[in-house]
Amino acid sequence: MRLRMGWAVLCGSRTGNLAGDHWLPERSVKILVVSWFFPPASTMGAMRLGKLAAYLLAAGHDIRVVTPRDTPYARTLSMDIPADRVVLTPWWDVNRVTASVAWLARRVLRRGGETVTPVIAGNAGAVDGAVSPPAPRPRSRLKASARFCVDLLNWPDSRIGWLPFALLAGRRVAKAWSPDVILASGPPFTTLLAGHLLSRWHRVPWIVEFRDRWGEDPYDPLQGWFLRRAVQTESRLVRSAAALITVSEPWANDYRRKYGKPTWVVYNGFDPKDYGVEPGQGSPDVPQLRIVYTGGIYVGRRDPSALFAALRLMGAAADGVRVEFFGTAVAHVQPLVEEYGVERLVTVHPRVPNTESVAVQKRADVLLIMQWNDPLEQGNVPGKLFEYLAARRPILGLGLETGVPATIIRERGAGVYSNDPAEIARHLGGWLEAKRRDGGIPPLPATVCEGFSRAEQFRTFEEVFSAIAKPGP
């Protein structure tokens, strides 16, 4: 009976009760979360999982989190759940070995009269941050063999060194606490191996969360044996899962088609507590039109070239515009700035903590979001989109004009989405004129962010957990 009721929820009917806007589960669910990213690490993935854990705990569920300690990220996020519910584990950086392999390869190749650039593993562990496009594969057989060995050591990604520690901690938690359901969130996809094995060993249903793609990730494309292996491994793991959760409908449709599994969409959303009651007012005290971007960029895929081209078209009128980047590497912006001759208009600031990032967004006259202008970007939805909507400042979007971010911005009347420098220049001129005339650009209406709060989005997690969880005592 419990199983039939659970699947009814997954198919669209509710077996719990609704009290106002809050889902009331049939019973408290014990949820084990396995995630590489978790506060205090300051990444979008850590923020999502940290906010989810706090939401579930506040909703009356019991939760434990297995995550590594001392990961290589800024430690500025607050942990909003009691520390005794978080199991911190050691982890081993396999690329310490790959560095030794690269050193040995250089020695061997020098003896043969060749030079070689050090071979370092791909960016599988560098999610939630900007990366450059993958370096070209080595051409010589010896170099290719060295690269293959390094990639093999990093299978399925560079965080594989965490797997034994995650499994050991997960097994201890499962034996002592007996979870009802396991959530494994990737990337990195080492977490999915951990979720699958813990589910199998302890006979607990598990759920896959794809915050990004694996075998078909255009930002870190795999080739040859590694692509085939990734596709096969993803398929095997997903088929053992009870359900999938991802971050956009195009991706969800693809997973449903490939695997025939119940698949649900949960956007990253925003926390109203972070943004307060008052909307962002921009910078009425600054004469220039301030365009702000927070976060990293992907060189050659998500970059501000169309905006810089628009500024060049504006000529002397562009002196009334300032573009500010927070958290972007100077080396990723400087060549483009010089190419378009807009050095005087662009400033690059260091990365700021999340609380300061919110303030920066609310002080912007216009917020900039960038996507790759390619059909492969169709379902990619940056978490900052929902932050921008919560700040209620007009948005200028660049990139794929048929993607999810472009659709949301247009449907909500939240700004402009275009790759045409002439069109962008016209809108910049209009915003600049409005600021000079009215003393500032008014905030967007509250309706632009309706339905996108984390609590509203996380109810789907809660319903799926309640449906999938193994029967209680």
Q: How many helices (H) and strands (E) does the chain have?
A: 16, 15
- pLDDT for the residue numbered 300: 82
Taking residues 164-176, what's their average pLDDT? 98
Q: Is the pLDDT of residue 193 over 90?
A: yes
Q: Is the pLDDT of residue 231 over 50?
A: yes
Three-class SS state of 333: helix
The answer to whether the CB of 167 falls within 8 A of the CB of 195 is no
Q: Which of 43-47, 256-260, 294-298, 307-311 has the lowest mean pLDDT?
A: 294-298
How far does Cα 195 stand from its chain's mean position? 20
Taking residues 147-155, what's their average pLDDT? 79
Q: CA angle, 404 as apex, 44 and 12 as ends, to 5°?
A: 90
- pLDDT for the residue numbered 106: 62
Q: Which residue has the higher pLDDT, 401 or 130?
A: 401
Percent of the chain with pLDDT over 90: 73
Q: Rounded CA gap, 315 and 337, in Å?
A: 15
pTM here is: 0.85
- pLDDT for the residue numbered 102: 61
Q: Is the pLDDT of residue 131 over 80?
A: no
H or E stretch covering 88: strand 86-89
Taking residues 323-345, what's their average pLDDT? 95
Q: Is the pLDDT of residue 357 over 70?
A: yes
- pLDDT for the residue numbered 455: 94
Taking residues 241-247, what's their average pLDDT? 97
Q: CA angle, 125 as apex, 124 and 126 as ends, to 5°?
A: 95
Q: Is the pLDDT of residue 325 over 70?
A: yes
Q: Is the pLDDT of residue 4 over 80?
A: no
- pLDDT for the residue numbered 123: 43
85 CB neighbour count, 10 Å cutoff:
14
- Provide the β-strand partners of residue 398: 370
Does a cis peptide bond (omega within 30 degrees of 0) precede residue 156? yes
DSSP symbol at 270 = B
Q: Rounded CA gap, 427 and 306, in Å?
A: 13
- Provide the β-strand partners of residue 30: 62
Instruction: Give the CB-side neighbour count of residue 389, counting CA atoms within 13 A.
Output: 29
Q: Is the pLDDT of residue 145 over 80?
A: no
Q: Which residue has the higher pLDDT, 315 or 8?
A: 315
- The domains located in the chain, with CATH, are 2-92+159-269+454-468 (3.40.50.2000), 272-449 (3.40.50.2000)
Q: Is the pLDDT of residue 114 over 60?
A: no
Report pLDDT digits (tens) over 36-52: 999 999 999 999 999 99
- pLDDT for the residue numbered 224: 83
